[in-house]
Every structure is written in structure tokens, then in C-alpha cells.
Amino acid sequence: MNNDKITSAQLACMLFLSILATSMLTSPSLAYGIAKNDMWMTPLIGSLGGFLTVALSLALYRRYPGCTLIQYSDLILTKWLGKPISLVFLFVCLQMNANQLRQFAELMKLAFMVNTPIIIFAVSMMLVGAIVVNLGIELIGRLSLLFTPIIIIIVAVLILPLIRGMEPDQLLPFMADGAAPILRGAFALQIWFPTYIYAAMFLPYVSDINKARRWLNWGVCWSTTIFTLSFLYIVMSMGAASQHFSYPFLLLSRYVTIASFMTHLDALIMILWVLDVFIRTIVMYYAAVSGFSQWFQLPSYKPITLPVGLLIVLLTFWSIPDITTYNFLAYIVLYYYTLGNICIPLLLYIIALFRSGPAQDEHSPAPSGSGPSVLHGEGTA
Amino acid sequence: MRLSMHASARFIRCSCVRVAAPLLLAALLSGCWDRTEINDLAIITAAGMDLADDGKIKLSVQLFVPSPPSSEQGSSTSSPGASNKTIIRYATGLDMADAAARLQEMMSRRLFWGQADVFIFGEKLAKRSIKEPMDFLTRHPHPRERANLFVSDGEAEEIVKWKTPIERNSAETLREMAVLQTGLNTSILQVIEELAEEAHTAVIPVVRIMRKKPEVPFIGGTVAIKDLRQAAKLDSLETRGLLWLRNEIKFATLTAPAYPGGDYASVYIYSANSKLVPSIKGNKWSMLVAIEATSNLNENASTLDITKEANVKRLERTFEGIIQSRIDKTVKKAQRSGIDYLGFAEQYHRHYPKHWLAAKKDWDTRFPKIEVRYKIRLTIARNGLTGKNATLQSGGGNNS
């Protein structure tokens, strides 16, 4: 591996910001659509996905120190079975990259820069991302640590002025339709929470590994807190209107006035959006690039940075002709995000439990087609 | 030799990069797709939507036209209004977006909705449907959700083109008046929020023009929207009752005879808080209106000696009665029409979700039967700079 090192705190910030980036704008309307005004409880339950993935990545790392998920899936499942499964994980990773890039570009075009070609947003973000990725993991960690307070301050500035106008009454009726919608809403949030599995891709670079568990669990707690607070904020200030708008948080940021003369604060949310998606891009991009280099067992990931970037830009526009299709995809990506980020690590861990030590030849080479079906079996069990 | 060749190759590569980088940057420099100069914009400050005779929508906009900076410098000594003018333009279209597009055809500058603070629906349009304009206003990324909505008494166009002597334009006048809150102050977001609630009703303030010289528009009364069209109309006094129910009273002056047959007394309410408490007992649905208000005594021309605690209490009871009758008038009116614009449905939905689910379908028949009770507590906290007003009484202080 490289000599670059990050600290556990930086890793927690990286993943925390990655989740915050896209969730801030799109999760409220998704969650409101399912759980109505009880949606503020969904992150409390949904966070279990975060804690589970943190535990999985740490437990697997303890068994295979110095290895990323791509590397130990070969060790756990043998090369024949491990390669296809880690390839599925990498494809989900590519898809996440592509989705967030499309989301970023669409929102910039919709709300801020109507005439700019959408490809400019995607490509410029990817090129800047490529520079950062090539400069190494250490820079990503430091940038995340640097941006975390800025982003939290922006979120606070957007939320605080409207506190007076909130109506706690909007939270009633409490659980009118029982617990089922909340559970379904918590499941929908699994688009975001299991992103913490990407700790498995970064743990080998962490210098203070003994603190990793504490920091990562704190990260999940922060994510839960900020999810819950922003959901409470949206329900209490918009109530039933939350379902009318696609980006409730963006809308509220336009609604905020500070002391009745500072209005039109959506420039702030643009700063938040660009900074935060930038962090998410470099984190996920790095995971994809380093993952592929490990999959091909390359000595360095740098030569494939740009090719992978091109692949991501392609996926950004491939088969998503318009925003309606994209929004519909949210219900589908949920399943394959869950597959990639929860089912695959869970499968690896369960099999690793049954095997001691590095890979032996117990599993006869299976046809690669059986990989995904095994996964489905595990996922539903 | 070999070393220097290597070095020169690196030098060439370096200089290639140095030349290529600025060239690549230059490619981006031309690309200001979303550049907008302020003197290319026609800034809409207010828009009125009327129903044209053929069922189309007539859009009238009030434009603030910023003049180019060069002329502004020249006229900096004169009043700031001289270089910037407000103009009115009209267009008719199949829907709001169509009308806006037609309006654009007639303009040399690009229409900009981002500063539009006021949107006014004409009465005829409000009676047909506000669906179309509302969809445009929330879907289009430019109009702000904080913009005020009004329904005009008559044509919206009249209000838009009215020239105000005090503020910059009529949009500014209306917005300031709404903020002072003698009537409702509703933003686009609030209307959407109310329409999304259980009763699917919303209330929008009415602007009318006082028909005397000089013509002055003012916010008087309210329109209740049900099924996205105007369903009921409240006058100014009934609107006050509505404001009490909605907990939107900020200031109020109440005037009543201090005691039956006596002279008038007035209190100025500076803090008020109201709450709707629903309850269901058996099949009997009732709503408790709980109000707490704090006021100062503004005027007392009567012989009542307000330095005595018992008299102050009596006065408080009198004004509590005034508040109650005001609210009750509004409640009765709503119940007679069967349209729940008071927000009762949402209260039952919040506090009795199961009952509400069952009663939801026949709410329009159930709503008029709801018994409304009142618990009003008004405090006269201060009585002003004078106490007992014996000097101003004709017969001297002969009160009890």
C-alpha cells in the first residue's frame, strides 16, 4: 500500500459528509412520501444499517488486517467466487458515483444555472475529483476534516432563523398509521446509511486503527442526529407541504430571511451543495479507483483514475434520459445499494466466520453466474 | 549527453503543458452560459392574474426597470426614483406559462421572477380556479415561496397598475401592509401547506381599492379557497375573527362601552396567543378556543374608575366578550357555509387520527354541527399615564 495515512477522525468526517451530501436535499421528500409526519423517527431506526455496516467493516478488517473489501473477498471466497462478487460491489460503487454526479448536475441546472450544459457540471466535478484522487488519500482526509465545520455552520445558518416559525403541532398525529410506514421509511434511508461500509475500503490507510470503532460509530450518530433534526425542521416548518416539493430543504433555504433584510439565501445552499458533493465525489471516486486497481491487482491506482472517471461520467448519462426516470430510479437503486453495501459484506462476514485463516480450496470453482443468486438468498434470510 | 537529452525532453514536455493549460482554460472562459447583466433584466415586482373573457389568463406585470449604471451616475444627485421606473405590461395566454412567454415576446429584456413579492389573483379567476397559476408559481424555479398572495376585489390589473405615493410601487405597499398584519399575511408556501392539509382549504387576503378620491388599495377581508376555487368571502371584521382562530393576531385595538350605557373604552392588545383544543365525547364533537391576551388600556372616557381592581376585572370581562363575539361571528359564518377554513379538520386529524379517518368523508356535514366553546383570558396589564380620569368627567368623580 501507499505511505499515505489518514486518521480515524478524518475517515469518520469523510463518510459523514458523503452521506450528508445527497441526503440533505433528496431524503426528506422520499421519507415524507412514506412515513408522513412521523418521518423524523425513520433515521433513528434507519441508523441500524449504519451501525451494522460499521461493525461489519471493522470485524472483517480485524480478520484480514491491511486488506480492503476487494482484497479479502478473494481470500474469503477464493478467487473464482470472490472476483465476481467484489465486481458486483464495485459496480454498485460506480453506480453510486454516477447517481450522485447526476443529482448534482441536475440540481445545479434546475435551480441555479439553467443554460449551462449539464455535461459541464459532471465533467468539471470529475476532473477536479481526478486531481484530488491522484494526489492521494491523505488530501481527501484533510479536506473532509476542513469542510466539516463549514458545512455544519451553513446548515445551522439555514435552520436557525426559521425556528420561531416552527409549529411542533405539525408532528401530530403521532404514528397514526402504526409503525409500518416508519419501518418502510427506515428501509428507504438505506440508500444512505450503509455508505459507512466504505470504511472497509479505507481502513487499511487509517493510522490509529484502535480508535476507528469509536470514531465511526460517532459518525453514524452524527448522521442520525443531522437526519433527525433536518426532518424535524422540515415537518415542523412545512408540514404537509413537504410532499409538494422535490427539494424541501432547498425550498426552506429560499424561504429563510435573517432579520428581514438578508433574503435569498439559496446561494448558501449552493455552497453547501458544491462543497459537500465534492467530498462525496472524491471519497466514492477514490473507493472506485482503488477498488478497481486492487481487483486487477495493479501496482498503482493512478493510471486508471481517468478511465474510471470516464466510466462514471458515461454511467451518469447512460439510460437516464430525464429527471422523471431518475427520480423513479431512487426506488430501484435502493435495492442494489442494499445488495452492494449490506448483503455482500454480510455474506462475506458470515462465510469468513465459517472459515478460519486464509483461503483454502474447499469451494470448488463455481460458475460465476451463481454469485448473485447466492447473494439474494442471503439477503432475504 | 544522455542526461542532457533527457533533461531537454523534460523541458519540452513541461513547456508543452505550460502552453496547453492556458489554452484549455481559455476554452472555459467563453462559456458564461448563465451570465445575466442587470440591465438585461426586466424585474417583475408584482404580477396580477385575471380571467380574460375567452377563458384565457391575462397576466399583468409590474416591472422594475433598472437603468444602466452610466445614467445612474449622472442622476445621482436627483432622487433615486428618477432613474429607475416602474412600468406595467400585459399579455394573454392559455395558461400562466403561455402568458409569460407572450409577455416575453413584447419585451426587450428578459423577465425575471425572482424579486416578485406579490401575486394577485383576479376575483373572476379565483372563482374559477387558482390551480394553474399556483402550479406555475411553485414549479418554476424563480418565483419565491415567500411572495405574498392576494385576491383582488375586481380586476387584479387595477391593483398592479396603481401608483403609490408613499412606497416605490404598489407591490411594496401591499407587502408592507401585509407585514403590519391588520389582515392576513399569506405566502405561497403557506397556501400550499394549507391546501395540503386535511381540509384542502386555504385563506388568502383580499385587496380592494377604496373608491373615493384618492384611490387607495387596502387589505380588507379574506377569501376562503376550497377545492382550489373561491368558496367564501369574509369582510374585515370576520377576518379579525379568523386571525384570532389562526393565532395570527399580533396587535389589536378593541373598543366597547366600558359598562352598558357608558362611554367607550379601548384596549390595545400587544400580545395574544390562541389555541384550538378539539375533543370528542361519544358522538359529540366540540372545539375549545383558548385565548390568552395581554393589553394596555388606551382610552377610557367613561366614569369607570380603573384604579380599582374590581373595575379592571369588569372591563377585562367586557373585552373578553367582545373577542368572543368577534370569533363567534366568523365561526358561525363558516359553519353556515359548511366550508372548514378555520383549520378544525387539521386539529381533529392531529389529535384524534382514528376518529378523523372515519369522519373524513362526511366532514362537510359534520363540520357545521361542531360545538365551539370559548375560554378567553384577557389581562389589562397597564392603564397608561393617567389613572382615574376625574378631571375629564363633567360631574367630577362620582363613580363607585
Residue B11 to chain A, least CA–CA distance (Å): 22
Please give the average pLDDT of every successive group of 10 residues along chain B, which has 400 residues: 68 80 69 72 88 88 71 44 70 89 88 86 88 87 85 85 76 80 79 84 84 74 85 84 84 83 86 88 87 88 82 88 89 86 86 84 84 90 80 59
Residue A115 to chain B, least CA–CA distance (Å): 5
pLDDT at B69: 53
CA trace torsion A277, A281, A287, A290 (10° rounding): -160
**Domain membership flag for residue A372:** no
Average pLDDT, whole number, for chain B?
Answer: 81
- B220 in Cβ contact with B236 (< 8 Å): yes
Buried b / exposed e over A347-369, threshold 16 CB at 10 Å, is bbbebbeebeeebeeeeeeeeee
- Above 50 in pLDDT, residue A380? no
Task: Fill in the amino acid letter for B362.
Answer: D
Which residues constitute the domain of residue A101?
A: 9-358
> Residue B189 is nearest to which of A113, A172, A255, comparing CB atoms?
A255
Long-range CB pairs of B199-202, under 8 A, 24+ apart, other chains included: B199/B340, B199/B341, B199/B343, B199/B344, B199/B345, B199/B346, B199/B363, B200/B226, B200/B227, B201/B225, B201/B226, B201/B231, B201/B339, B201/B340, B201/B341, B202/B341
pLDDT-above-90 percentage for chain B: 2
Number of domains in chain A: 1
Q: Between the CA of residue A147 and those of A219, A220, A273, A302, what are the distances in Å?
A: 15, 18, 12, 25
- Above 80 in pLDDT, residue A54? yes
- Above 70 in pLDDT, residue A123? yes
Q: Judging by DSSP bridges, how do beta strands B118-121 and B41-51 pair with one another?
A: parallel
**Domain membership flag for residue A368:** no
Question: CATH number of the domain that A285 lies in?
Answer: 1.20.1740.10
Residue A46 to chain B, least CA–CA distance (Å): 25
pLDDT-above-90 percentage for chain A: 28
- Above 60 in pLDDT, residue A367? no
Q: Which domains, and CATH codes, for chain B? A: 248-400 (3.30.300.210)
- Above 60 in pLDDT, residue A349? yes
CA trace torsion A228, A231, A232, A238 (10° rounding): 180
pLDDT at A282: 93
Cβ A241–B34 below 8 Å, yes or no?
A: no
Q: pTM here?
A: 0.80
Q: How far apart are CA A281 and CA A129, in angstroms?
A: 7
**Domain membership flag for residue A63:** yes
Residues in A closer than 8 angstroms to B354, CB to CB, are: 176
Give the orientation angle of helix B96-105 with respect to helix B131-139, to 10 degrees. Answer: 70
Q: Which helix (H) or strand (E) holds B296?
A: strand B284-300
pLDDT at A216: 92
**B280 close contact with A: CB closer than 8 A:** no
Cβ B145–A255 below 8 Å, yes or no?
A: yes
pLDDT at A219: 92
Query: Looking at per-residue confidence, does B36 or A332 come out higher?
Result: A332
Residues in A closer than 8 angstroms to B138, CB to CB, are: 244-245
